[in-house]
Amino acid sequence: MANNASDQLLLKGMLYANLSDFTIVCGDQRHNVSVASLALHSSVLTRAVHGDFKESKEREIDLTEDFPDCVSSLVEFFNTTQYSPSATLANLTYHVDMCILSDKYNVQALKELTVQAFRDEISLNTDNTILAEAAIKAYEASVATQEIRKSITKLTISRGVHSTIWGTALGQVMASYPDFAKDYAQGLEAGLKEVRSWKVKPRADENRYRCPGNCGHTVVTSYPRARPGLAGCVHCMSCRNHFATRAWLDNVVSEEWDDWPAL
């Protein structure tokens, strides 16, 4: 009896170990893979090689409808359990393509690696146009790229002034993909919910911050312990201007609160 998921996967692979190697075809490329590896990593491809199908009889499957580079990376994972695309391929859109392919063939371990690679690649310095291209691919795939879409939304929010977002490449993508605009709006709302009334005494884990625009308005929040990048850019409820979270953090107010009512 297998004691854990890893043991179960190992046993499953052993059941197929007596089967001959298999071939994955993509255009003029032919890749040899182990059936045992397919059994360990892809339930979709395993059904193709272990059923009464053409693929099972011919000992090969044609994936020509997929991108050749992505198929090569898929085969590399089957043979090495590694995801290490070359420098010319390692970019945001390629990671999205690989995430979609991994989901298509239910290769969950590879999918996790592609999501992590996307998160490692993305940064505040990522060009808006490149991020927009990745967003298009991610939102066309919908469910398959849920985690990647979260990263795109978070970075978009952290970019800054939201009143001008619609004039950017990202804003154009939002106009074409309502789910992106919805995720963006919900992300902003999630950040703003951390801001509480200025008439409230801060709790032990909170501070009061003055509007960076010097309008006199203050807010109470736990930004240092929350996730500053989540809110990214917060608008002042008084002057209605948007300021980066860091600007708010630099305007912490030190006052005595003995006269303020406790919550």
Per-residue model confidence as pLDDT tens digits over 202-213: 666 677 788 887
The predicted structure's pLDDT at residue 160: 55
Weakly modelled stretches of the chain, pLDDT under 70: 1-20, 124-125, 159-164, 190-205, 215, 222-233, 237-240, 254-263
- In this structure, the chain runs to a length of 263
- CB neighbour burial string for 135-147, b if at least 16 within 10 angstroms, e if fewer: bbbbbebeebbeb
d(CA 263, CA 260): 9
